[in-house]
Amino acid sequence: MADDRLIQGMAGNGDFRIIAAQTTNTVETAREILDLSPVATDALGRALTASLLLARLLDKHLRNQYVTLRFEGDGPLGVMIAEGTVAGAARGFVANRVPEEGALDVGRAIGRGMLTVVRGTPPAGKPYTSQVSLHGSGIAQELTQYLDRSEQISSAVLLGVLNRREGVAAAGGIVIQAFPHAPENAVAAVEERIREAPPLSTLIEKMPIEDVVAQVLHGMDYKQIDSSFNVPLSYTCSCSRERALAPLALFGADELREMIDQGGTEVVCQFCGRKYSFTPHDLAALSLPHDA
Ligand SMILES: [Zn+2]
């Protein structure tokens, strides 16, 4: 299978900016690592794809920007987090990866609640955070509203994940951004193309993402930007031993003492399952008062 990638283009004589991603392998890796049920795969797969698309869409030439999408709905999946970077790394987490109710659609599996979008550029720079209500309408719909209300970006967001018994057969997404100068009839034409298009994931199963976008936007003068600007995408976690240790420093002296007495502790990364073991010696170093 072809490598996951993000591509960019323009349509309608520069009235529209297009960002699209093929994320089949990324979502399949998430499914394997996090042991996700089909509905959790559908939901997190869309969210991971969206975080990668938004990191690119909202990038102001910062190059190492990340976007974190935190879904806190009242649906059976519980809290779901997806994080993507401009460089193409995505990782995620679902609190309840195997909900008891089967055959739910993604909108209901997430439910109503709050979506928090954080974007920033580590390590310096204050992250920019905004919140919108979740209406249980599905991730593409919720993000279209977020872009409209919080970023003043008029857009259409398409996301899809196709699960088969043996795993993820196709996943990806397209964001079509209408620039303010886009004439109304052109916007209407794009909306019609989107309504007419077959489900995105079935297109991605059949053809490369380049052809999928060209088909969805047929007759709209779509042109892909040179493929040297493509970004390879993957499920990649940025955790490290130092970062795993840092939260332990916040524990009180008694709690640290207990961990030391128990012969150390282990921290498991919620995004990738990597395990970090800390010896009593490591923990004792944390509890020492720092020199002024
Ligand atoms: Zn990790």
Each residue of 226-279: pLDDT tens digit? 999 999 999 999 999 998 988 888 888 888 899 999 999 999 999 999 999 999
Task: Tell me, in angstroms, the distance from the centre of ligand 1 to residue 118's CA.
Answer: 19
Name the residue type at position 76: P
Residue 182 pLDDT exceeds 60: yes
Task: Tell me, in angstroms, the distance from the centre of ligand 1 to residue 274's CA.
Answer: 6
Residues 284, 249: contact at Cβ < 8 Å?
A: no
Tell me the three state secondary structure of residue 141.
Answer: helix
Q: Which residues lie near ion ligand 1 (Cβ < 5 Å)? A: 237, 239, 269, 271-272, 274
- The mean-pLDDT minimum among 16-25, 56-65, 267-276 falls in 56-65
Q: DSSP letter at 58? A: T
CA dist., res. 127 & res. 119, Å (int):
5
Residue 8 pLDDT exceeds 80: yes
Task: Tell me, in angstroms, the distance from the centre of ligand 1 to residue 216's CA.
Answer: 36
Task: Tell me, in angstroms, the distance from the centre of ligand 1 to residue 29's CA.
Answer: 13
Instruction: Give counts: helices (H), strands (E), the chain.
Output: 10, 14
CA-to-CA separations, 91 to 49, 159, 179, 232, 244, in angstroms, rounded: 10, 17, 30, 14, 16
CA dist., res. 98 & res. 7, Å (int):
32
CA dist., res. 53 & res. 169, Å (int):
20
H/E run at residue 149: helix 139-150
Task: Tell me, in angstroms, the distance from the centre of ligand 1 to residue 246's CA.
Answer: 14
pTM of the model: 0.92
CA dist., res. 107 & res. 110, Å (int):
5
- Assigned token pair, 243: 């970062």
- Closest listed residue to residue 40, CA positions, set 133, 132, 110, 128: 110
CA dist., res. 68 & res. 154, Å (int):
20
Residue 140 pLDDT exceeds 90: yes
Tell me the three state secondary structure of residue 124.
Answer: coil
